[in-house]
């Protein structure tokens, strides 16, 4: 009887372990940092403040600003690998502009964006305003320096009467899993 019980138990365990595992229905792995930040913002805003998973303090705003400045310092110095470690924005424009580049070669895409495609990868001259715009999300207005040390001015397009020359530009930074990422592309000038 003991042997029969052990045999039945073994068969049950073996047959139970042979079932096909259910697929994971977690699409979070495919989300961009922007989508993840929106989901986190939606989650955070639905909870009372004492239950918020995204507890922040003033140091987060300062750290977000530092990461923004570092990002532009790196790409202005053509140090694209380090710049990319602080970037969480999109690549669609880079893919469109550079169909000959492997989409996984992010440093080459950034190099092309900054050196050939019209991005202005400049150092920040000053941060003129900063604010927390949501849980883990920050907005900054910045001015840039041209390589010769003068203020960068994005001129209005000819024939566009409703536009004016621009010297301040808005950039967003998000905090995900304790890290900060710039999610706005560098300025484009055709």
> Rounded to whole angstroms, how far apart are CA atoms 123 and 108?
20
Percent of the chain with pLDDT over 90: 63
How large is the average pLDDT for residues 174-186?
A: 96
pLDDT tens column, 69-93: 999 999 999 999 999 999 999 999 9
- Is residue 44 predicted with pLDDT exceeding 60? no
- Domain extent, residue 125, equals 53-188
* Residue 32: inside a domain: no
Whole-prediction pTM: 0.69
How large is the average pLDDT for residues 30-58?
A: 47
* Residue 87: inside a domain: yes
Number of domains in the chain: 1
* Residue 38: inside a domain: no
Please, which pLDDT band fits residue 146 given cuts at 50, 70 and 90?
very high
* Residue 60: inside a domain: yes
* Residue 93: inside a domain: yes
- Is residue 96 predicted with pLDDT exceeding 90? yes
* CATH code for the domain in which residue 82 is found: 3.10.450.540
| Cα torsion 131, 64, 59, 42: sign | positive
Q: What is the mean pLDDT of the chain?
A: 79
* Residue 5: inside a domain: no
* Residue 47: inside a domain: no
* Residue 11: inside a domain: no
* Residue 6 DSSP one-character state: H
pLDDT tens column, 21-34: 333 333 333 344 44
| DSSP notation for 40-85 | HHHHHHTS-GGG-S----HHHHHHHHHHHHHHHHHHHTT-HHHHHT
> Rounded to whole angstroms, how far apart are CA atoms 64 and 37?
14
Residues in CB range of 164: below 8 A, 6 or more apart: 156
């Amino acid at each position: 009887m003991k042997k029969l019980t052990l045999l039945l138990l073994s068969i049950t365990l073996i047959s139970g372990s042979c079932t096909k595992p259910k697929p994971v229905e977690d699409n979070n792995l495919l989300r961009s940092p922007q989508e993840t930040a929106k989901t986190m913002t939606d989650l955070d805003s639905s909870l009372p403040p004492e239950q918020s998973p995204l507890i922040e303090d003033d140091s987060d705003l300062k750290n977000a600003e530092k990461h923004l400045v570092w990002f532009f310092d790196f790409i202005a110095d053509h140090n694209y690998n380090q710049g990319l470690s602080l970037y969480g924005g999109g690549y669609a424009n880079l893919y469109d502009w550079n169909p000959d580049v492997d989409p996984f070669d992010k440093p080459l895409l950034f190099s092309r964006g900054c050196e050939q495609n019209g991005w202005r990868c400049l150092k920040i001259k000053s941060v003129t305003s900063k604010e927390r715009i949501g849980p883990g999300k920050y907005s900054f207005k910045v001015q840039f320096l041209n390589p010769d040390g003068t203020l960068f001015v994005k001129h209005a397009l000819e024939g566009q009467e409703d536009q004016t020359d621009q010297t301040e530009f808005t950039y967003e930074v998000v905090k995900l899993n304790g890290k900060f990422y710039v999610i706005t592309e560098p300025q484009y000038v055709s």
